[in-house]
Each structure stands twice: as C-alpha cells, then as structure tokens.
Amino acid sequence: MSKVIMTGNEAVARGAYEAGCYVAAAYPGTPSTEILENVGEHYSADIYSQWACNEKVAAEIVSGASIGGARALCAMKHVGMNVAMDPIFTMAYAGVNGGLVIVTADDPGCHSSQNEQDNRLYAPHAKLAMLEPSDSEECKEFTKAAFALSERFDIPVLLRMTTRVCHSKGLVELEERENVPVRKYERRADKFAMLPAVARVRHMIREESLADMENYSNACSYNRVENTGGSKVGVITSGISYQYAKEVFGDTVNYLKLGLTFPLPRNLIREFAARMDTLYIIEENEPYLENAVRAMGFACIGKDKIPVCGELNTEIVRRCLLGDSSGAGYEVSAQAPARPPVMCAGCPHRGFFYTVSKNLKKVVSAGDIGCYALGINEPLNGFDYSICMGAGLSSIIGLAKALELQGDSRKALGMVGDSTFFHSGMNSLVDVVSADANVIACVLDNSITAMTGHQQNPGTARNLMGLPSPQVDLVTLIRATGIGEDRIRVVDPMDLEALQAAIDAGLAVTGPFVIVTKSPCALLKEVIKANAGKHCVIHSDRCKGCKMCMKVACPAIAFENGKAVIADVASCNGCGLCKQMCKFDAIERIGE
C-alpha cells in the first residue's frame, strides 16, 4: 500500500477505520477536532459518527456501543476529558465488549486552551490503559493497537496525544480495513450494571488485569530499548518528547522509548536504569515518568532541569540538559506589534460586545469558551472572566449573590454560544431559572460551532456525516424552562438599538432574564454567498475623524491621515455596524 502524508489526527481516524471501528463520537475541541471530522468525511460508509452535545455524552455513546459489542472511539481535547470522566471512571471498572478507545488531545503551551493539564495522570487515576504515539505513523499504529489491547485485556484504552502530534504531518503507510465482526451482545449485569456489589468485584478484577497487563507492557514492542554501544547515558521518554530527544542526542545515548505508558513497564525501566551512569527523563508538563522512576529508587535528571510549564522543543531540551545556547538566532531592536486574534469583519458577536461594553456601569459580565472569548480584548473589554464551557451561565448565579452581599448594584450578565448552550449551558440555565437568580443570561446563537472551524451542532439541522438531521430549537428549550415570555428577548445583535432595548428590559426587572442574539457566523458559506459584493465605503469628505466607527474594533477599518477608511474591502461584508456608529452619515453600504 502507498505512503501518504497525514496529520496525527487524520492518522487516528485512519487507524480507527482500519481497526474495524463502527461507532465514533466527539465534541469539537482544538487540537482534537479533525479526528471526528475525518471519520465523518472519509469513513462514513463503515463508521457511524456523530458530534455529541458534550464530551460526557460522547463517552457514553461509545460506552454503549462497546457494551453492545461494536468497536468504538471517542475523541476530546484535554479539558473535555474533565467533562467525560464520570462514565470513563466507571467503564474502567466494567471493561468492554467491543474495543473501546478514548482519545485525549492535550495542549502543552495552551495554544488554544484555558490550561495545559497533563491527562496522562488520568490513566493511573481511572485505571485506563494508555498509549502515547509520537508521530503520525504511530498515531495510526497505536489506534489499531488500542482496539486490540482493549479487547485482549478487557479495558478501555486512553490514546494520549498532544497538539504537536495532532497537528503535525508525517508519512503514514495505509492498510486495508480489518474485518472485525460486531461481538454478540449478551446481558452481563455482573460486569456492566455498576451497583456497589458489582463495583467491588470489578475493582478487584481490574487490579488483577492491570498486573497482567504490566507483564505485557514489559515485553511489548510499543516499549523499546534503543541501545548505543559504549554509552552509559540513558534517556527515558514518550510521545513527542522522544522526537526532541532523538534530535538533540542522536545516536550518542541509549533510549527507552515508551509507547504503552500505563501500566508502565517497571521491570523494563529498572533494567534500563540500572545500566546507566546518567539518566535523563524527557517529558512535557508533569513528571509522570520521572515520579515512577524515582519511586523505583533511581536518581535521574528531569524536571529539575526541564520546565513543567509550556511546550518543549529541541532548542529547549538542548539548552536545559546540555547548557548549550549556541543556537541563538539573530536579533534586531525593532519589535513586531502584538497580533492577537480578533473577531472577523462582519462577525455578529461584535454588535453584542459593543453594546455590553457600553453597559459596564450597570452589569458585571462573564464570558465563556468560543469565538466570543475574543470579546475580552481591547477596546471592547466585553467581559471580566471566563472559566470553562457553561460557566458563563452558571457562575453568574453565585456572582449575583456575591455582588448583592457587598451592595454592588450591578447586575450579573453571562453568555454562552449556541454550541456551548447545548454542551452544558442548558443545565446552567435550568438552575438560573429554578433559583430565580437575578441575572441576564445571554445565548449568542451564530448557528454553528465556530471557533473550532464550523462543526454542526443540534441546532444546525445537519450532522457530522453531512446528512440533514432534526433541528433542536434552542429558543423552544429556553421557553420550556417556564421562564415566561416577558423574560425572553430574541434579537439581531447587529441591530444595536434593539439589543440595547433588550438589555434595558433585563435591567428593569429583578430575577432571571434571557437574551438570545440570532445572527449567523459571517464565514458560513451561505452567509458569504448572500453577502457577495456587499461592503461599506467611508466617504472621506464627510468623515470627521471622530473614530466612533473604530470603537467596534473591526479589522476591516483603519485610520489613515486623520480619516477612517475601509482598508480591507475583501473581508468587509457590509454588515453596517460601523454605519450605525457614524453620526455624520459618512458610511454607505454598497452592493445591496
């Protein structure tokens, strides 16, 4: 078969296909998103795949498939795994019927995440087997191995990736799909009905099987020693850190390259470490391997030299371990200005955040995870804090109490997007209503999961496999809480007057108030098509240079020679927000 160039994510999808996976589910999250996108796009004939409304639901969908006898895979970003751990901890006791693979895509360096938690620590905590691929080829190979090991040892397997593995491309050899029949479903209440009496037994069985699996770990091909004659320097490493180690040390040292990292091959580690005069442990973030090596009584060099925080690369490993900073590059005195990501020209969130920013004396604003997180930036300063998916609506219940206790008269205002509403914001809103919280809860519906690159969600009427699907109407869901029609406003966020009126209505009442802003993402294909040829122009003879239009922070508008101009006509879609800001009628929409 041919070799093709693939990202780690594409290779995991390919591995699932080749391994005879039948069911796959995920909630989108960088850097994991493309795994399920590729399953949906390329392998729909053989694998049923879907976006779940959150990671816990995804893990439960594939748990059911596994119990039913079908090989199944779910994928999530590292913080998504926090959401999914409830079913995963229990499935680790239960084991599987069809092979069950859980992919975690960690993000050392927080490239696009709120933390850089190291999900390797979940493997011993939950008692999951764990494989760590270090490049695209291994992503495919280890995905297939994960299914086989899951069935052989009756255990869910965690496939642990990192951003640099997910989003790097390398050559991968393609193979055919294995013919793995769905295992017959039989009632196994002694295994899957996790009541206390069952759980106590399953826990003991799991401990025994992990001991068995450790024997396998000591002997398997996924954990390998690469010896270099004569050297007494050893490196123990796993995942992407192996690649950094190889580039720094080349063939001058011995390696213990670990692929199956839970249960750890302690005998193999012991034999390797005992032969070395100097032992380096090279790993990103937490000292997971290092703690295990130290617990076996071996001295080693690890996190005393290599930082816990941030992503590694060869230059950092070389500098930290060898003290070699000779690789320093060129320097000039000029500095590049910061280039933070911004809301796109025509983004409907801009109208929302501009209006919120005008009300900051009356509200304290809480954000959430999505494109609208960009509303935090200057000059909009559209919210004060953001925590995790859904907290934009639930944290304001507590915030409102705290503000009340200190006599702060401002009202708590929180927000989630449409996808985040379906993810966990729904639960938050139920509590907002049932607690009669004195808050304004906003749902910013742009008809897509935008930040991760336009994934469908329950509100978009289309599924991951490209087929039409039933549409779940979020306004109907909100009404179903019983909040009352007089406490709900559905507005176009680009209509600044209507949005301000909605906020005023929310401020005028005590208790919960819901604002749904409805306007599709400007980058959706149908929106681009509908806006083709439309853009704004600023008539310089009428522009007074007051910079009011700059207050909406649109990347298409620049200020040159004392006048505002539409500098990037190609990206302007004529949304007209700037026109609403102009008091001198200097801005005109063209192409309508």
Partner 1 sequence: MTKSILLVGVGGQGTILISKILSEGLAQMGYDVKMSEIHGMSQRGGSVTTQVKYGEKVYAPNIGVGEADLIISSEKSETLRALSYLKKGGAIITDDHEIYPMPVLTGAASYPHDAIEQLSAVVPNVRTVRAGAVAGSLGNVRAQNIVLLGALVKSMGLTGVDWEELVARYVPAKAKDLNLAAFRAGFEM
Site string for partner 1, 356-395 (x = CB under 8 A): ---------------x--x--xxx----------------
At residue 120, the 3 state secondary structure works out as helix
Span from 41-49, 302-310, 507-515, 557-565 in contact with partner 1 (CB under 8 A): 557-565
Between 2 and 406, CB nearer to partner 1: 2
Tokens for 38?
């590729």
- Quick one: which of 520, 559, 563, 589 contacts partner 1 (CB under 8 A)? 559
Rounded Cα–Cα distance for residues 278 and 364 (Å): 55
Of 225, 322, 558, 590, which one interacts with partner 1 (CB under 8 A)? 558
Q: Does 550 bind partner 1 (CB under 8 A)?
A: yes
Residues 6+ apart with CB under 8 A from 339: none
Give buried/exposed letters for 302-322 (b at 16+ CB in 10 A, else e): bbeebeeeebbbebbbbbbbe
Identify residue 149 by its one-letter amino acid code: L
- Tell me, by CB under 8 A, how many residues bind partner 1: 60
Residue selected from 15, 31, 108, 239 as contacting partner 1 according to rule CB under 8 A: 31
Residue ranges in 109-128 that form contacts with partner 1 under rule CB under 8 A = 111-112
- Write down the least CB distance from residue 317 to partner 1, Å: 9
User: Are the beta carbons of 515 and 337 closer than 8 angstroms?
Assistant: no
For residues 164 and 411, which CB has a smaller minimum distance to partner 1 in the complex? 164
Q: How far is the CB of 109 from partner 1 (least distance, A)?
A: 9
Alpha-carbon radius of gyration of the chain: 27
The residue from 11, 20, 30, 106 that contacts partner 1 (CB under 8 A) is 30
| Structure-token pair, residue 190 | 């002694």
Pairing of β 587-590 and β 557-560: unpaired
Identify which of residues 465 and 564 has a Cβ nearer to partner 1 in the complex. Answer: 564
Instruction: By CB under 8 A, tell whether 1 contacts partner 1.
Output: no
Measured between alpha carbons, how far is 416 from 391 in angstroms, rounded to an integer? 8
- CA–chain centroid gap for 441, Å, is 24
Q: In 441-565, which residue ranges form alpha helices assigned H by DSSP?
A: 474-479, 496-508, 525-530
Mask of contacts with partner 1, 488-517, x by CB under 8 A? ------------------------------
Task: Tell me how far CA of residue 102 lies from CA of 77, 106, 203, 221, 574, in angstroms.
Answer: 11, 13, 20, 21, 44
Cβ–Cβ < 8 Å for 119, 102: no
Give whichever of 297 and 340 is closer to partner 1, judged by the CB atom: 340
Give the per-residue contact string, 131-170, with partner 1 (x = CB under 8 A; - = no): ----x---------------------------xx--xxxx
Closest approach of partner 1 to the CB of residue 396, in Å: 24
> Between residue 292 and residue 351, which ones bind partner 1 under the rule CB under 8 A?
313-316, 318, 327-344
Of the listed pieces 189-197, 278-286, 394-402, 566-574, which binds partner 1 according to CB under 8 A? Answer: 566-574
C-alpha to C-alpha distance for 582 and 187, rounded to whole angstroms: 69
Least CB distance to partner 1 at residue 288 (A)? 20
Residue closer to partner 1 by CB (options 33, 365) is 33
494, amino acid identity: M
Distance CA 13, CA 33 (A): 11
Q: What is the closest distance, in whole angstroms, from the C-beta atom of residue 525 to partner 1 in the complex?
A: 13
In the sheet with 260-262, reading across from the earlier edge strand, the strands are 48-51, 23-26, 72-77, 100-106, 157-162, 129-131, 260-262
What is the closest distance, in whole angstroms, from the C-beta atom of residue 337 to partner 1 in the complex? Answer: 4
Measured from the CB of residue 139, what is the shortest distance to partner 1 in angstroms? Answer: 12
Query: Which listed residue (143, 223, 243, 573) binds partner 1 by CB under 8 A?
Result: 243
Nearest to 429 by CA among 463, 475, 359, 478: 478
Other CB atoms within 10 Å distance of the CB of residue 387: 14
420 is a site residue for partner 1 (CB under 8 A): no
Nearest to 472 by CA among 23, 84, 83, 51: 51
Interacting residue with partner 1 among 357, 452, 456, 519 (CB under 8 A): 452
Sign of the C-alpha dihedral, residues 249, 254, 256, 259?
A: positive
Residue from 190, 212, 247, 404 binding partner 1 (CB under 8 A): 247
State the nearest-atom distance from the C-beta of 136 to partner 1, in Å: 8
| Rounded least distance, CB 415 to partner 1, Å | 18
DSSP 384-436: SB--STTHHHHHHHHHHHHHHHTT--PEEEEEEEHHHIIIIIHHHHHHHHHTT
For residues 59 to 98, the per-residue mask of contacts with partner 1, x marking binding by CB under 8 A and - elsewhere, is: ----------------------------------------
Residue among 179 and 333 whose Cβ is closer to partner 1: 333
Q: Please check whether residue 215 is in contact with residue 208, taking contact to mean a CB–CB distance below 8 angstroms.
A: no
Shortest approach of partner 1 to residue 110 CB, angstroms? 10
Contact segment (CB under 8 A) with partner 1 among 52-60, 353-361, 417-425, 547-555 equals: 547-555
- Judged by the rule CB under 8 A, the positions of this chain that interact with partner 1 are 3, 5, 30-31, 111-112, 135, 163-164, 167-171, 240, 242-244, 246-247, 313-316, 318, 327-344, 371, 374, 377-379, 451-453, 550, 553, 555, 557-559, 567, 570-571
